[in-house]
Chains A and B, each alone.
Chain A
Amino acid sequence: MPKVSMTVNGKRVSGNVDARTLLVDFLRNEQRLTGTHVGCDTSQCGACVVHVDGKAIKSCTTLALSCEGANVTTIEGLANGQDLHPMQAAFRAHHGLQCGFCTPGMIMAAIDMVNRLGFNLSEETIRENLDGNICRCTGYHNIVKAIQAGAAAMGGLKVAAE
């Protein structure tokens, strides 16, 4: 079995995997990072979204081998110790989750949205850009509010840091 090495949440990891192993299975089964979820088998729901080299991807349709040498961030790698990432904090503050199953993917997709489109996101932009993420519980209302607030908070932090 081929060997794959990558950095996951800042930690160098490697493993021997079957060539057909998906990134999501590598993360969930080999690395025991079960925060990344699987909600479908057709690349539609976004429960599996992680960041690879800073960009959101669906880990259910990415081969682990294709991430050789990559820098992978999962939901478990967002918080800085006890300090939540502003997007995580916004999801809690705005009740942007119920069962929480879609939430890791939502948060990872939301951060990517901010990285691509900036800190000032309109409701319309957010809804449009969530087209790859399904939530069955919330009706999206509070997810949209959370992302808007999380984006603004990320902006605030960035500004303060600069």
Chain B
Amino acid sequence: MRPMKFGMGQALTRVEDHRFITGSGHYATDYHAKGELQAFVLRSPYASATFRMGSLDAARAMPGVAAVITHVDVAHLGDLPCQAPVKNSDGSTPRAPSYPVLPKDRVFHVGEAVAFIVAETLNQARDAAEAIDIKWSAMPVVSEIADARKKGAPLVHEAAPGNVAFDHLMGDKAKTDAVFAKAARVVSLDVVNNRLIANYMETRSIVAEPKKDGKFLITLGSQGSHGLRNTLAKFIFKTDPANFRVVTPDVGGGFGTKTFMYREYPLAVFAAGKLGRPVRWASDRTEHFFACAHGRDNLTRCEMALDERGKFLALRVEIDANMGAYLSQYGPYIPWLGATMLTGVYDIKAGYARVRGLFTNSVPFDAYRGAGRPEAAYMLERFVDYIADEIGMDRIKLRKLNFIKPARMPYKTVTGRVYDTGEFAGHLDRAMEIAEWKGFPARARSARKVGKLRGIGLGVYIEACGGGSPEPAYVSLEKDGTATVRIGTQSNGQGHETAYAQLVSQHLDLPLDKIRVKQGDTNDTPTGLGTGGSRSIPVGGSGVMKAAELLATNLKTLAAEKLEAGIGDLEISGGAVRIAGTDRRITFAEIAALPGAKKDMLSTTAAFAPPEATYPNGTHVCEVEIDPETGETRIVNFVIVDDFGVTLNPILLAGQIHGGAAQGIGQAMIERYVQDENGQILTASFLDYAMPRADDMPSFTFETRNVPSTTNAMGLKGAGEAGTIGAAPAVVNAIVDALRRAKGISHVDMPANAQTIWEVLRSAT
């Protein structure tokens, strides 16, 4: 691609930053409607209980109270739908338990909404909630996966025997079992994938405004306004989506979990319609822990069959994934998606995954950055280190022996994935070189001298993203010669305004501040799939690029007539079309004023339908130093070498990788959501849930070693989630390496925090 000043590959700072650094960003939580009422959600204190709603008269009579909404008021509304069910092995589709807008007489997790109180002020709504008398009757609790799968465990839902939401088999079990039966060696390991909370900094909120024509304007922070509009309309209110205009302004982070339908949205809309006034609800941080989908939470058993040389022959895994109390929008799909990446970067000819979703009395679970793929990558890379240790083989040799070789690309995995490109040994070598892997023993010796334990570890990952349905992009030239992009993806902080502007500039050669990017308003584009699965650039960006190219051609066509030149002699530069090598030119603004400049010439649209996902891959190397007296662990070096096909903007890319890796490191070392045996949440604030802070995080060395993807014209591979996917196994492998060298310890589970490390060191002989 021809290098353009503001185009593809340029390291440009962001156009959106000015408003954020001056405090003029506009988030959903900053939005207020004239005359709005405030809503408060009354939530269950029990993880599992039946209840009887007492009289609401007292609450309704409290000062300022406009409405107290309970199940009876919203019983006519549809359930919150699970839109990605996973089939059982026998081909049947399991029935999802009813997930009503408000429950009638039974709650299944702490914090479950039971009433929606609307008043003039939030304090009035809160006070009224205290006046509601509910008779609770506690029921048996299934708190965690281990409880759910116990023999004779209580049932979360009567209709789900064994607490099994679905039981799915992927891959060829008979073939795999046959390989296992004849294998020279079998190694197995159980791994825990700890439960995480997204904890984006801007908590959710909504303002629902009824309009005179019976329609609603809905303002909320999301990962895509169209998806929420459609779910609200089609599934819950059973009305035409055109009745809802959903607007998402700036978004303070999403990481997957702002994609989904949550109860407060239909409640606010319903209340606004009933009262004829705008209704606002905003979550506080504690509510985030029990009203937003949770992430991860798997128990996985993995087994590898090997030959005498250490070649992987077959892999079988059993994944038990916590679904929480209900099936959230995409909940079941997440562990399923992870399982499709079962064999990772390795050439393994037989394998299967049995994926079970289990119900527990906890907040419903759904996609959180990486969504299944971090779980898969962690499982495999932790397991490979463990195997190396078990069979007494160098972990790098073992990896290289089993990698899929570049010559085998495109490569079809046992789960049906087709990798287009990937040079795994290439980035592995490079990452080890930067991390000075060879010098590690000397560094470990020096550390030992001062009583510290050093370890080094790595993870080599591949992930699947940037595929799926097309995302139409609309690019138009304005009268003043600037350009506007409209698209149904949604920036949550990734910098789409800059990235898309660069793609437009590649063809129109405009400075970025002459290109507006509009997202988030369902009135602006007819459809939109939002941000998720690292798709906004590979899929959305491909559409933008194509639409910009079409527009450039149109502009040349119009200019050709005016300049009386052949299209082939024209070039675009600096906001004008000119005859190459001359100073005869016509500016975009002048073109826009030409008689032939009809709307269809100045507005173009394109959508790219990816034939297959993209497969970013890379190596993360982590070096740690542990104080054995306290278990405290510092990351002393962190190196990432990734293959993203092509780099659109190295500054934005590095930001995605740093932030993603920090979330992976957080999971590996400190983050964990905990419930006690009664299903009570022990980590419902930043005081109890360990959030990564600056002092917990390393500084990163990040490099790309790109091999262009063959599945999209630009050669891009999605980069939004890769950092999270690669980081956790590298960290835990480094920690285990230190513990193995010191005490022969071969595995620890996440989060490997100071307490865990201190304990395993104490109990090791």
Contact = CB atoms under 8 A, between A and B. Distances in A.
Contacts of A37: 27, 29, 201-202, 252
Contacts of A133: 693-694
A128 B494 CA distance: 26
Interface string A76-91: 1011000010001101
Interface in A85-106: 88-89, 91-93, 95, 97-104
Interface of A: 28, 33-42, 44-45, 47, 74-76, 78-79, 84, 88-89, 91-93, 95, 97-104, 107, 123, 126-128, 130-131, 133-144
Contacts of B693: 130-131, 133-134, 140
Given A95-B652, A137-B493, A76 B17 contact: no
Contact of A141 (B24, B199, B699): B699
Interface in B556-589: none
B691 interface: yes
A100 B493 contact: yes
A136 B255 contact: yes
B253 A99 contact: yes
Contacts of A143: 694
Contacts of B603: none
A143 B13 CA distance: 14
Given A76-B22, A101-B252, A141-B700, 15 more contacts: A34-B23, A40-B685, A44-B686, A88-B21, A95-B13, A98-B659, A101-B25, A101-B27, A101-B201, A123-B699, A127-B697, A133-B694, A137-B253, A144-B694, A144-B699
Nearest to B250: A100
Interface in B1-39: 13-14, 16-27, 29-30
Nearest to B21: A88
Contact of A35 (B25, B200, B253, B494): B25
B720 to A, nearest CB: 11
B284 A41 contact: yes
B695 A130 contact: yes
A128 B697 CA distance: 11
Contact of A134 (B30, B201, B250, B493): B201
A138 to B, nearest CB: 5
Contacts of B492: 99
Nearest to B198: A136
Given A95-B655, A144-B699, A103 B20 contact: yes
20 contacts: A34-B30, A44-B687, A45-B691, A47-B201, A75-B23, A79-B22, A84-B22, A88-B21, A91-B17, A95-B651, A95-B652, A97-B493, A99-B252, A101-B493, A133-B694, A136-B199, A137-B201, A137-B253, A138-B662, A142-B654
A104 B658 CA distance: 20
Contact of B661 (A39, A97, A103, A139): A139
A156 to B, nearest CB: 19
Contacts of B658: 138-142
B654 A45 contact: no
B473 to A, nearest CB: 22
Interface of B: 13-14, 16-27, 29-30, 198-203, 250-253, 255, 284-286, 492-495, 651-652, 654-655, 658-663, 685-687, 691-695, 697, 699-700, 723
Nearest to A85: B21
B575 to A, nearest CB: 23
Contacts of A35: 22-25
Nearest to A9: B23
Contact of A100 (B25, B29, B723): B25
Contacts of B660: 139
A127 B695 contact: yes
Which of A39, A93, A103 has the most CB atoms of chain B within a 10 A radius of its CB?
Answer: A39
B294 to A, nearest CB: 15
A134 B691 contact: yes
A139 B201 contact: no
Nearest to B700: A141
A130 to B, nearest CB: 4
A78 B22 CA distance: 8
A99 B250 CA distance: 8
B537 to A, nearest CB: 15
Nearest to B24: A35
B655 A138 contact: yes
B199 A131 contact: no
Contacts of A141: 654, 658, 697, 699-700
Which of B13, B23, B26 has the most CB atoms of chain A within a 10 A radius of its CB?
Answer: B23
A91 B250 CA distance: 18
Contact of A138 (B14, B30, B659): B659
Which of B21, B24, B284 has the most CB atoms of chain A within a 10 A radius of its CB?
Answer: B21
A44 B662 CA distance: 18
A99 B200 contact: yes
B25 A40 contact: no
Nearest to B652: A95
B686 A42 contact: yes
Given A47-B201, A95-B651, A130-B695, A84 B21 contact: yes
B655 A45 contact: no
Contacts of B250: 99-100
Contacts of A89: 21
A95 B660 CA distance: 15
A41 B685 contact: yes
Contacts of A99: 200-202, 250-253, 492-493
B21 A41 contact: no
Nearest to B30: A34
Contacts of A91: 17, 21
Contact of B694 (A93, A98, A100, A131): A131
Contacts of B17: 91-92, 97, 100
Nearest first, the 10 A-B pairs at minimum CB distance are A35-B23, A99-B493, A100-B20, A101-B252, A139-B662, A75-B23, A44-B686, A139-B658, A98-B493, A130-B694
Which of A98, A107, A123, A140 has the most CB atoms of chain B within a 10 A radius of its CB?
Answer: A98
Given A45-B201, A84-B22, A88-B21, A93 B13 contact: yes
Contacts of A92: 13-14, 17-18, 21
A103 B21 contact: yes
Given A134-B693, A139-B661, A39 B22 contact: no
A45 B199 CA distance: 11
A41 B494 CA distance: 26
B336 to A, nearest CB: 26
Contacts of A88: 21-22
